[in-house]
Structure 1
Amino acid sequence: MTGIDRRKLVQAACLIPLIADAPSGRSKPLPLRRTPIAAPFAMPPVTEPDFSTSRRFSIVDHGAVQGDQARTTAAIARAIATAHAAGAGVVVVPPGDWPTGAIHLRSNVALHVEKGATLHFSDDPDDYLPAVQTSWEGIECFNYSPLIYAFDCTNVAITGHGTLRPRLDRWSEWYARPKPHMDALVQLYDMAYRDVPVAGRQMAMGENHLRPQCIQFNRCRNVLVQDVSIDGSPFWTIHPLLCRDVTVRGVKIRAHGHNNDGVDPEMSHNVLIEDCVFDQGDDAISVKSGRDMDAWRLAIPCRNIVVRNCQILNGHQLMAIGSELSAGIENVFVDNCHFTGSGKGADGWAVPIDNLLFVKTNERRGGYVRNIHMSNVSATMIAGSVLAVETDVLYQWKTLLPTYVRKLTPIEGLVVSNVRVAQAAHIASIEGEAELPVRDVRLRNVEVDKVTGERFIERNVVITR
């Protein structure tokens, strides 16, 4: 291990605690399960909490009343506190319709939403105050609380065959990006550039309108999201940030709004996403590692991400890498996933899929991308490519502010094999930087029945078919 690697390991240990938010009343450790994972890189088993023998705490016993948001919100908080104080526990949401505000999990607590139960999340921003430490598109800040939030926790879960359904009337008004919102983005970026402490980056005010994530685990370890259905999201749907050992299994997400990615692992290690169904208005899965100066400060790459046995109905990309990738992304494996939609999008914000694997960055990001694998994937009709790489993706930031620091992104080791697509515009579209070509791209057994455009677009790339 090099000196640089040792420093990064120490930084990671400081940022991703092994023991967090420890309860005082525990008599014995919560059982853990370890899932071995086959991957084309050294992938450690992913650890998840086992709440099968834990005590159960009904929100009704703690004062929840159907139709009463204030009493239900308070009851959920009391049940979580009681379960945590007991050492471990499962907070049970029984069948029925339960309006609520923000839910904050604690260590050794599972939120279990039973079949027939629906948590209806308020769309009143005041219900997500006081502001909490979170992030906005790769920059840390204090903003409205995610609808379900865990910070610095160990052993947390959201389980059950029930439904999480945010109300979106107010949040959808915030999809628009008027000048006050854009000014807030510039202000936040400038604070990161000047290394303003995160506590000083207060964004939940005025007309900033930075929407909260639906679910965020921030600096947590041993995270499980299993079986729940999620219907709608103000912003990114499931966002593990600076986490270690995360399992998302059997989850069904339908979120057709603006920036409605499905799962966004960011600066996290050892993540398993399996047996899920994605019906998104943006990317199904998007692996990230922070934006520019803020990510260089944290210096925690996103590493060891496995996505397998998933179905995608709508979404911009099956797997996106970036564009927030400034701390680096490596060891990603997508296996046996299938885009089964019509390729034409659906109602509302649902969109046709663009690419199966899309690596996106720009001259400001730095970081790196390496060792990305996709295999055993199929699709109906896609608007873009099986594999796409773009190195000039800036979206609205292109005109919001100039390039303060120029750092290119080394991209290498993209391996795509055993892919079948009925129709696509291209097999591969790769546009690297002349100063830093994309290297070690391998396509094996990739078949597209109908290619509507140029089969291969290759600029500043070393590709092997």
Structure 2
Amino acid sequence: MTRYKITNVFAALALGCLIVAFTQSTKVIQDALVVKAPFEMPAIRIPNFSQCDTFIVTSFGARKGDQQSTTAAIAAAIKKANASGGGVVLIPPGEWLTGKIHLKSNVNLHLAKGAQLLFSGNPEDYLPAVSSTWEGMECMNYSPLIYAYDCKNVAISGQGEIKAKMEVWQKWFARPKAHMESIKRLYNLAWDRKPLKQRKMVNDTAHLRPQFIQFNRCENVLIEGITITNSPFWTIHPYLSKNVVIRKVNVYAHGHNNDGVDPEMSQNVLIENCTFDQGDDAIAIKSGRNPEGWIYKTPSKNVVIRNCVVKNGHQLVAIGSELSGGIENVFVDQCEVLQGAKLDHLIFIKTNERMGGYVKNIFASNIKSGKIDLGILGIETDVLYQWRTLVPTYERKLTPIQDIFLENVSAADVKFVSRVLGQNELPVKNVNLRAVTASSVAGERYIQENLQGFTVN
């Protein structure tokens, strides 16, 4: 990783980033990445493993076609790399069947070019249950396929591929009555502030699919270069994490709830030079559902998304609907949605009367898109999905939404340029559109309900 001597901070900012090396007690170096944004953005510390030893999994007993030996070998290599003060766990070329992978601090899981980690589709391989989440609520659930909890300096890198077998997970996409009753039970456990140990959701009826990758309460996280194919649930989920960089990652996942990246209650996040081909939102920024967000009081904050391409997805960037901890300081820049992509909005802010939280300081610029099924900007304050009939409103908390700025954004055919549906009691405030255009608009160009302060230039 290249390092620059600091001579002129303003010149470095003009380049978009500045990298400086920090040393620490482990063999892992921390590099500080300074990112240009229209708000004060702290330097993002990410791990640099250039001074670390490499631990090839075949030296620990990994064998092609043997899931049990490969799973054990990866775990042993991770343990050794962690114990040595930091290391690179190398997956060599070829297809390697595996079960769950639990990362540790100061470890880089590196996939060589031509390497494929093919993850088991058997839910039993992701037990025992671990501390995880389901749609903004904490629970004990199946382990994410790749999981890190309370880790520092962790990475997944390389030119290889991670892929999920989907035969069982895709059967779980359905939401029969038993599943709906299980998520209703979890909602009520969370609402009653029951401890995590009482929220065990691994049973024959819940079928709460695990995330593919979850960094839970981690610091200094890097995902770089890899290809991800398929996912049981959300694809990349930084949860309560700080200093996260996701770059040059290609994601293809077209199942139910297959968002690309879901930063949740996470701060100082950079997502750049990635390609998304999704069955749901390309990027969805979240911050917990109801009590989870209110208790942690940790907004998703300082999130920069740049130079990304969307081939398919519901939205380029969604904000919410789980946003009870608040979301602020988001910058989307230099992104493109390809012609022919299936898309509802470029930017979609969604909440409801139960969420509380807040949304502010959202910036989007220099975005190009083909046809959009709905419109460029959507803001809705009554998005409840299945929860509308599953549980009543126990406590009404509206979401203040303000300071939304779009500039130099163009699309082909749309139904509207912007649609803002605020609450009468708490209008949306300060929406600014500058050089936001569409080739054709099928309906009303600007739809507004309960909006205070709307500027078009």
Shorter-chain TM-score tier: over 0.9
The answer (yes or no) to whether the contact 2:27–2:52 under 8 Å persists in 1 is no
SS of equivalent to 2:406: strand
Kindly indicate whether the alpha-carbon contact (under 8 Å) linking 2:28 and 2:51 is maintained by their aligned counterparts in 1: no
Measured after TM superposition, the shift of residue 32 of structure 1 is 1.1
Q: 1:370 aligns with which of 346, 360, 365?
A: 360
User: Match for 2:455: what amino acid?
Assistant: T
1:212 paired residue among 210, 213, 218: 210
- Return the match for 1:250 from 248, 251, 275: 248
Q: Give the equivalent residue in structure 2 for 1:131.
A: 129
Among residues 59, 66, 69, which one is paired with 1:68 in the alignment?
66
> What per-residue deviation string (whole Å, max 9, x for no partner) do you get for residues 134-173 of structure 1?
1000000110000000000000000000000100010000
SS at match of 1:381: coil
Contact in 1 for aligned 2:27/2:49 (Cα 8 Å):
no
Aligned twin of 1:421: 411
Conserved? CA contact 1:312–1:341, under 8 Å: no
| Equivalent-residue separation in structure 1 for 2:354 and 2:25 (angstroms) | 50
Shift of 1:47: 1.0
Unaligned runs of 5+ residues in structure 2 are: 1-23
Amino acid at match of 1:400: L
> d(CA) in 1 for partners of 2:410 and 2:359?
25
Structure 2 counterparts to residues 48-447 of structure 1, below 5 A:
48-343=46-341, 352-447=342-437
Q: Is the 8 A contact 1:66 1:98 kept in 2?
A: yes
Counterpart residue identity of residue 389, structure 1: I
- Secondary structure, in 3 states, of the residue corresponding to 1:337? strand
Deviations 1:208-255 (A, max 9, x none): 100000000000000000000001000000000000000000000000
Q: Please give the alpha-carbon distance, in whole angstroms, between the structure 2 residues aligned to 1:409 and 1:420.
A: 28
**Structure 1 residue 424: deviation in Å?**
1.0
Moved >6 Å (runs of 4+): none
Alpha-carbon distance, 1:29 to partner: 4.8
Q: What's 1:20 paired with? A: none
* 1:248-271 C-alpha deviation (Å, 9 max, x unpaired): 000000000000000000000100
Q: Distance in 1 between matches of 2:40 and 2:27?
A: 28
Q: Which has the higher contact order (CA 8 A, sep 6+)?
A: 1
Q: CA deviation at 1:53?
A: 2.0
**Corresponding residue SS for 1:169:** coil
Aligned equivalent of 1:452: 442
Give the counterpart letter for 2:451 in structure 1: V
Instruction: Return the letter of the residue paired with 1:370.
Output: K
- Contact kept in structure 1, 2:67 and 2:99, CA below 8 Å: yes
CA distance in 1, matches of 2:385, 2:145: 27
SS class of match (2:168): helix
Q: Distance in 1 between matches of 2:136 and 2:332?
A: 23
Structural RMSD (CA): 0.9
TM-score by length of 1: 0.92
Q: Amino acid of the residue matched to residue 226 of structure 2?
A: V
Letter in 2 for 1:101: G
Instruction: Give the secondary-structure state (helix, strand or coil) at the position aligned to 2:173.
Output: coil
Distance 1:383 1:218 in 2: 34
- Unaligned runs of at least 5 residues, structure 1: 1-25, 344-351
Structure 1 residues 85, 313: closer, same or farther in 2, change over 3 A?
same
Q: Tell me, what secondary structure is at the counterpart of 2:360?
A: strand
1:176 shift after superposition: 0.3
Does the 8 Å CA contact 1:372/1:415 hold for their aligned counterparts?
yes
Distance 2:28 2:80 in 1: 16
CA deviations 1:100-122 (Å, max 9, x no partner) are 00000000000001110000000
Q: Is the 8 A contact 2:26 2:86 kept in 1?
A: no
Separation in 2 of the partners of 1:241 and 1:376?
28
| 1:32-84 deviations in Å (ceiling 9; x for gaps) | 11111111100111111001221000000000000000000000000000000
Summarize the Cα distance change of 1:242–1:412 in structure 2 as closer, same or farther, 3 Å threshold. same
Code of the residue aligned with 2:429 in structure 1: it is R
- Residue 47 of structure 2 aligns with an amino acid whose one-letter code is P
- 1:3 aligns to what? none
Aligned residues: 432
C-alpha distance after superposition, 1:164-206 (max 9, x if no partner): 0100010000000011110110100110111101122100112
Distance in 2 (CA, whole Å) between partners of 1:120 and 1:180 is 30
Give percent identity, aligned residues only.
54
AA aligned to 2:245 is T
Output the CA distance in 2 between the equivalents of 1:426 and 1:76.
50
- AA partner of residue 237 (structure 2): H
The amino acid across from 1:397 in the alignment is W
SS of 1:36's equivalent in the other structure is: strand
SS of alignment partner, residue 403 of structure 2: strand
Does the C-alpha gap of structure 1 residues 107 and 432 become closer, same or farther in structure 2, counting only changes over 3 Å? Answer: same
TM-score, normalized by length of structure 2?
0.94
Q: How far is 1:28 from its partner?
A: 4.0
Separation of aligned partners in 2, 1:323 and 1:119: 32
